[in-house]
């Protein structure tokens, strides 16, 4: 079988990486695979070192789609991906997550008779104003193999009419990568991190990420959140790697962060993990961090009104606090009075999800 692995942005590669390692280890040449980088979020820092850190090769194909509106970006990916599909004729493509590349490549493949496997299928926020929700729904509707991270995702797919035999509950490849990188972190000198000198100064802190347009592009919402985190930082320091979009909007709205908030540049996965794994809790609007904090048992407050990852709330350490500053402050005060949510690691989040996926693929 010939297989294409599709990734469009840095987080996609982190989900693809465990599958690459499993393909190398478990297929004995049964599956011939190649890596396709759509270039959806081209990052000049995505050098050979980035792929070495993930223990994967550099991509075989780079589509250089770049940015643009959702329609422009999706169209560019579809046109360029179709060219290599027609020429190379893979038997199957594997897409991950819910970005535009996931949607675009799935549609192209399906229309020319190539099967589609979707990793992280069935997740739903039930908020169709989110572009990612549309990508998830459409991709799942046309996929042949749907690999889920939690059983509520199975339920969502069955309700949408997906045949049960097409759904495979395998756990979460993002957790595979997290545990792999956490083990590797123990064998490196932390002084190699550019932010190491700061961590020596902080023994107790909160870790914050913030980047979603629904919050950072709205002056009223962002001002409310900034007021709350500035207030919190007077009692407990906050470590804040500032996303470029967020920094731009802070400057545009004239919002100032407290001097008790340590502003860091964007961090790669390993250096970010180096920080948040030791935080007393995490505040975030990221989907991935909701899951990763649950996997390591670290309390998480999510600055969103909903989540497509409900298991992090029902079983894990995640609490949805919304986007109002007062709700964040109240959650913080509850935590500081020892009202700390206890959770457990969900079923099959054990670092072997990619092995299960590859085992299924090698028998189709």
Residues 6 or more apart whose CB falls under 8 angstroms from that of 97 comprise 11, 12, 15, 119, 120
Could you please report the per-residue DSSP string of 231-298?
Answer: HHHTTS-EEEEPPHHHHHHHHHHT----TTEEEE----HHHHHHHHTTSSEEEE--HHHHHHHHHHT-
Percent helix, strand and coil across the chain, each to the nearest 5: 45, 15, 40
Assess whether 211 carries a catalytic annotation: yes
The residue from 118, 168, 172, 211 that is catalytic is 211
Query: How many residues are listed for the chain in this entry?
Result: 364
H helix count then E strand count, the chain: 16, 13
Whole-number Å distance between alpha carbons of 173 and 191: 29
Whole-number Å distance between alpha carbons of 300 and 279: 10
Residues 6 or more apart whose CB falls under 8 angstroms from that of 214 comprise 221, 304, 323
Whole-number Å distance between alpha carbons of 348 and 364: 22
Catalytic positions, written as ranges: 211
């Amino acid at each position: 079988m010939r297989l294409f692995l599709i990734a469009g942005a840095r987080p996609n590669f982190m989900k693809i990486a465990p599958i690459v390692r499993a393909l190398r280890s478990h297929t004995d040449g049964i599956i011939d695979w190649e890596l396709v980088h759509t270039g959806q979020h081209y990052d000049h820092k995505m050098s050979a070192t980035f792929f070495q850190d993930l223990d994967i090769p550099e991509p075989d194909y780079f589509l250089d789609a770049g940015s643009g509106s959702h329609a422009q970006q999706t169209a560019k990916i579809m046109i360029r991906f179709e060219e290599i599909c027609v020429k190379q004729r893979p038997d199957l493509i594997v897409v991950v997550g819910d970005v535009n590349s996931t949607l675009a490549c799935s549609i192209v493949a399906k229309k020319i008779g190539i099967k589609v496997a979707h990793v992280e299928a069935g997740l739903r926020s039930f908020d169709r104003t989110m572009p990612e929700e549309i990508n998830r729904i459409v991709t799942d509707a046309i996929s042949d193999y749907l690999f889920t991270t939690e059983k509520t995702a199975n339920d969502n797919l069955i309700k949408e009419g997906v045949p049960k035999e097409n759904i495979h509950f395998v756990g979460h490849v993002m957790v595979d990568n997290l545990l792999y990188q956490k083990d590797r972190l123990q064998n490196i000198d932390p002084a190699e991190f550019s932010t190491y000198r700061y961590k020596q100064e902080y023994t107790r802190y909160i870790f914050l990420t913030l980047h979603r347009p629904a919050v950072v592009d709205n002056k009223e919402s962002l001002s409310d959140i900034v007021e709350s985190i500035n207030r919190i930082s007077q009692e407990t320091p906050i470590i804040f790697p500032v996303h470029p979009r967020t920094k731009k909007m802070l400057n545009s709205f004239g919002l100032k962060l407290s001097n008790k908030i340590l502003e860091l540049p964007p961090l790669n996965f390993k250096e970010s993990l180096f920080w948040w794994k030791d935080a007393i809790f995490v505040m975030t609007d990221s989907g991935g961090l909701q899951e990763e904090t649950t996997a390591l048992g670290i309390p998480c407050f999510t600055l969103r009104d909903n989540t497509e990852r409900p298991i992090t709330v029902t079983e894990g350490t995640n609490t949805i606090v919304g986007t109002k500053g007062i709700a964040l402050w109240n959650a913080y005060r509850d935590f500081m009075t020892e009202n700390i949510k206890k959770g457990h690691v969900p079923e099959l989040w054990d670092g072997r999800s990619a092995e299960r996926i590859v085992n299924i693929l090698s028998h189709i």
